[in-house]
Amino acid sequence: SSLDRSSTRAHPRRRPSCVRARFAAMATGEDVAKLTVVQLKDRLKEHSLSTSGNKPELLARLKEFLASDGKSEATEAKQDAEAIGEAKEEAAEEAEEAKGDAKGDAKQEEVKDEEMGVETKEEEQAPEPEEPKELEEDAAKDPRPRLPAGACEIGAAPDATMNVMTVRGGKVLMALGDSGFQHLTAAARGSVGMKAGRYLYEVRIVESKTVQEQSRTKPKQSCILGFATAASSLFIDDGAENAGFDSEGSFVGGGEWSKGKLFGRFAAYSRVYGVLLNLDPKSPNANTVSLFCDGERVCKPQPLPESMLGKPLFPLVNYQNMTLQVNFGPAALATMPFKCRMLQDAAKADVEIAKAQPAGKREVLFPISLPDEGSFEWLGEFLKEHPQYTELSNRSLLDWGVKSGMYRNRNSWPSCNDKPSMDFGVREFDEYHLQGTIRSLAPLLPRDYVVMEVRGNLIAEERRKAVAGFDKSDFKRTAVVLLGEPPAAFKAKAHEQLLEEKRRKVAKEVRQKKVEEMTAKKAKKAAAAAEAAKKKEAAAAKAEEGKEKSKDEAKDEDEDKEQSKDDGAEASEQKEENQEDSEPEEDLEQVIKKAEEEVELTAEEKAQWFPKLPTEDIAKKDLARCFGDFSIPTKEEGFDEVKFVWQSEKKAAEYLKAWVLDRKLTQRIEDLQPGARFREQLDEWNRVLSMWRAKQHERRDPARQRPEKKRKVEDESKKDDSADAAKDEEAKENGDDKAKDEEEKQGEGEGEGQGKEDADEEEKPQKTVDDVDPFLVEDILDIGNGQPLFANFTWEDWTMLTLRFEMHLLVHSYCADVNDPDRPSFNETHLGYYYQRYFSKNISAKAFGVNSTIEMLGLIKDTIEVSEKAKILEAQLSEDTPLDNFVRLTEDHRRDRQRRCDVGDETAALRLQRQGSDRGGYRGGNQGGQRDYRDRGDYRGRDQQQRGGGDRGGYRGGGGGDRPSYPPRSGGYQASGGQYGGRETYRGAAPIGGYPAAAPPPPAASGYDRRGPDRGAGDRGYGDRGGHGDSRGGGGGYGGDRGGRSEGRSGYSRDDRRDDRRDDRRGDRRDDRRDDRRESAYAREGGGSRDAGYRRSSGRSPPPSSAPPRGGAPPPPPFGAYP
């Protein structure tokens, strides 16, 4: 008692020595028996020993350890005792010295001790907390009659999950542990429920299985022991009327878990765990549940949830990958610290026995209901009224997995009620293999089932397979038909759900609006306060300045008046704000309640029979494939009875037929494939369309636009070529000058006559396309003057023409491929799907300048219309209509559109969006260009942005050409205002990016000039080492020797340019010799110049050469060339 605390801190070795001494004393068994369970466990933890077991086991384990270490501990204890003795002697001496020195200051020390609150008495060691006493008392003798033997059972249907297997009359509980069942919790409820008294049941873990599996969700070993009401869930942690102890050391009651661990993890094989329920109102532990291990309490009594009070409570056991022994009595397996009766030994008055299932056949129900028409709503109400039925469905399996603690990805793909996506990461669940296992297991268990498969129960073939799985001798197989108008009670519940959903939305909107108003009000107040503060500061500054600088009293008086006015205004504003603040604000909940009361259903909503659910019963794709096979069940399919619950059989059949017909017009066909007829018609259309566009290009080319009369005269002159040749030979042989004179006169006469005819042709007005009726023209390729009917078509007209034919072909091909008289066409909302399915491309209404499919089809209402009622596409032309009719309709629409635009109707103009450049061409540049080989040709110059007006396959120069892309082998190519010259030169450069408008130079005697007009120094088409790049050095033009593909090069060296010029000269000489040989050979055959002969006979440029250009690069393909 005289030791100072500071000295203890200065000698830290004293504490360990005291501890050793205490353990040495404990080795003799002096203090060990007095320790509590908690203290024993602490001692064992200090020596790294096991802390499991009851108090006797813990005490024996600690004594054994201390005895084994007794010798060493005793030796250390002696040394520590000697050290303690020496310390005490030193302390006594110091105390005597301090006593003598402190006699004079005794009074001061006493006063100081009183002030500081220092206790001079000897410090006493605080006693260890005593273990709380057991409040449960011994059970009194009860003369009341007891339960009959075998009354307490567990694991019987329907109070058990399907994977529970019982042995020895329910005394041993096992569970299926393969094919996915290892992830599911087995749950079993007892047959006797407690209403009063205090009773116990015991559980021992017989087996704990470890399952190794490569899956995201790992199987676990666990169990929960507790109580539940008769109508509650079989899973203790699910629901407000369940309570129990988890094997991990937690308590769960009413769906809420305890904070932290209350006890250690359950031990297997040897431990007996007892669950005690105390409903005795006279007991201090009334309405509590307690857990004991081998007769020892492991935690304090836990109160029952209020929702469970006053109801019969039945034993409930949940376990996973374990085998349990359940003991209801009458004798207990473990000795309790007090006398307690087992549940089997309970008085009849204190318990309630659940009703047993009647003997005989079980029943299997097959509900037949249409998707989204009350299938699962009816099932929910049916199971509430008949809890003895077990649901067999994918939905129930998903719910079982979630309640078993399996992790499910929340971001799973959208699913449906009939076949929801599991997404547990377990193959048996995610691939629906476990559902097949349950289907094969169900007929072996004597239960009542409801087979809830919306899709399967509506298809006759699948119904037969499902019914055949249940033996007729064990089950009554019944089909429950739920078709047509439901009863009034069902509709009332549906309307109540709709009304509740509307009220929820209104409450959310009102709450959000109120929050916004409050936020705006606070902001307004803050702004007003800030403004008032600024005004006060300004007024104060102004008054201060006025006082300092005031020179006369008049000015002061004026300022005082102004100040008083400002103060009055501020006071009035403040008064108004205070009035606003003083106004009582209506409570938010009252506002929401008032708004909810005002919500009512509309007439349209009242006419609805079924509620709108967020999740559909069958996925749209699955429904589109199978709804045509829906039918009403019959007894021939194997049913013992067919019940029509909502309407009679006749009305149900009519309702189903009308529903199927309506879905045929609104549901799309997912597996539809275009037929061979469609491909043939599409190929023919593409061929004819190419021919028409080539015809228009030919007429637009100035080089080919010659009067038709001259062509006829030219054709007649060709017929008399042989006669003229014979006359010339005869005149030369005979030397007859008269014949020559007559010939010259005849020629002059013919010339004069031809001149007169040409003059007459010029005087007569030319016939145009707008002068003829498009529906009366016999040949759309020639309206009478050689012009086609589509001569004035622009790219917009060609686009509308293509749209007309494609919509016409799509509707007729759909009817032919579907071959269903109930499906004459498809809904307008499915146009994009079928268009992509047939034409392998997408269609967008915005590309045609409109916002909807109906507006887009309104542009071609002469070909396709949308019915007002069914909203399906209806073709206005027959399937075998000639292709010319689409041109006539397009031309008529073009004229009508033009007339309306002329009178100022802006709505008549098309607002089509051109999706990129769909016409080939060239873009020239004074520094060269580059050919785009992706789809259609397009030459782009580096610094020239001007484009030609070429159409498909045309060459675009400065003035624009409109010709098919036939690259010339040698000689020039002249377009409308542009020239493409040079032998095999695909990149001839022009000064400003185009092609010179002048005619090409005449061919030389030995060939054509390869350099072309206005070329840069040393340039050539595809040079020996040139590419199609932007050569900025000595190459120039389109490419150049050693040009390559690189852009941004600053130029070549002097040696490079010299080598380029040498290579140019060699290549030119070699090409000249080769072309001279070809031209000479062609002339010897009698055709003259090869290119010239080709041009005279065909009126067009020669075809491209098959020989590749020098330098190794192949010639570019003729993109956009028409046949």
Q: Are strands 314-320 and 186-189 parallel, antiparallel or unpaired?
A: antiparallel
Contact 609, 494 (CB under 8 A): yes
Beta bridge partner(s), residue 698 = none
Encoded tokens for 431: 């691939």
Asked whether the predicted pLDDT for residue 986 surpasses 70, the reply is: no
With helix as H, strand as E and coil as C, how does 843-869 read? CCHHHHCCCCHHHHHHCCCCCEEECCC
pLDDT of residue 882: 93
Asked whether the predicted pLDDT for residue 169 surpasses 90, the reply is: no
Rounded percentage of the chain residues whose pLDDT exceeds 90 = 37
Q: Are strands 164-167 and 938-941 parallel, antiparallel or unpaired?
A: unpaired
pLDDT tens for 184-194 read: 999 999 999 99
pLDDT of residue 1014: 38
Window from 163-177, 724-738, 962-976 with minimum mean pLDDT:
962-976
Tell me the average pLDDT across 39-58.
79
Window from 278-282, 846-850, 1104-1108 with minimum mean pLDDT:
1104-1108
Window from 37-51, 263-277, 976-990, 1055-1069 with minimum mean pLDDT:
976-990
Tell me the average pLDDT across 361-366.
94
pLDDT of residue 569: 56
Window from 386-395, 920-929, 1080-1089 with minimum mean pLDDT:
920-929
Encoded tokens for 853: 């499919």
Can you list the alpha helix ranges (DSSP code H) found in 460-549?
460-468, 488-549
Under the banding of pLDDT at 50, 70 and 90, the label for residue 687 is very high
pLDDT of residue 595: 83
pLDDT tens for 876-905 read: 999 999 999 999 999 999 999 999 999 988
pLDDT of residue 740: 46
Rounded percentage of the chain residues whose pLDDT exceeds 70 = 64
Beta bridge partner(s), residue 201 = 275
Under the banding of pLDDT at 50, 70 and 90, the label for residue 581 is low
Say which residues have a Cβ less than 8 Å from residue 397's Cβ, sequence separation at least 6: 422, 429, 434, 435, 438
Q: Are strands 296-297 and 164-167 parallel, antiparallel or unpaired?
A: unpaired
Cis peptide bond N-terminal to 330, omega within 30: yes
A 10 A CB-CB count for 498 gives 18
Window from 357-371, 374-388, 940-954 with minimum mean pLDDT:
940-954
pLDDT of residue 544: 76
Under the banding of pLDDT at 50, 70 and 90, the label for residue 502 is confident
Tell which residue, 198, 304, 192, 201, has the closest CA to residue 256.
304
pLDDT tens for 63-101 read: 877 776 555 555 555 666 666 666 667 666 666 665 555
Distance CA 528, CA 572 (A): 13
The secondary structure of residue 1117, as a DSSP letter, is P
Distance CA 918, CA 869 (A): 39
pLDDT of residue 765: 56
Burial class (CB in 10 A: 0-12, 13-18, 19+), 1039: buried
pLDDT of residue 739: 46
Asked whether the predicted pLDDT for residue 461 surpasses 60, the reply is: yes
Distance CA 1040, CA 1017 (A): 10
Tell me the average pLDDT across 1103-1118.
45
Number of H helices, E strands in the chain: 28, 29
The secondary structure of residue 1104, as a DSSP letter, is P
Tell me the average pLDDT across 111-116.
47
pLDDT tens for 798-818 read: 999 999 999 999 999 999 999
Asked whether the predicted pLDDT for residue 1088 surpasses 80, the reply is: no
A 10 A CB-CB count for 240 gives 16
Asked whether the predicted pLDDT for residue 320 surpasses 60, the reply is: yes
Asked whether the predicted pLDDT for residue 1092 surpasses 70, the reply is: no
Contact 993, 923 (CB under 8 A): yes
Asked whether the predicted pLDDT for residue 333 surpasses 70, the reply is: yes
Tell which residue, 1109, 1113, 993, has the closest CA to residue 1044.
1113
Contact 298, 250 (CB under 8 A): no
pLDDT tens for 287-312 read: 999 999 999 999 999 999 999 999 99
pLDDT, greater one: 27 or 446: 446
pLDDT of residue 969: 38
Which residue is associated with the tokens 């007929």? 443
pLDDT tens for 708-762 read: 444 444 444 454 555 555 555 555 555 555 444 554 445 444 445 455 455 454 4
Asked whether the predicted pLDDT for residue 585 surpasses 70, the reply is: no
Distance CA 687, CA 690 (A): 5
pTM exceeds 0.75 = no
Q: How far is CA 26 from each of CA 22, 40, 126, 1014, 1073, rounded to the nearest angstrom?
A: 6, 12, 19, 117, 122
pLDDT of residue 100: 56
Tell me the average pLDDT across 163-173.
89
Distance CA 276, CA 288 (A): 8
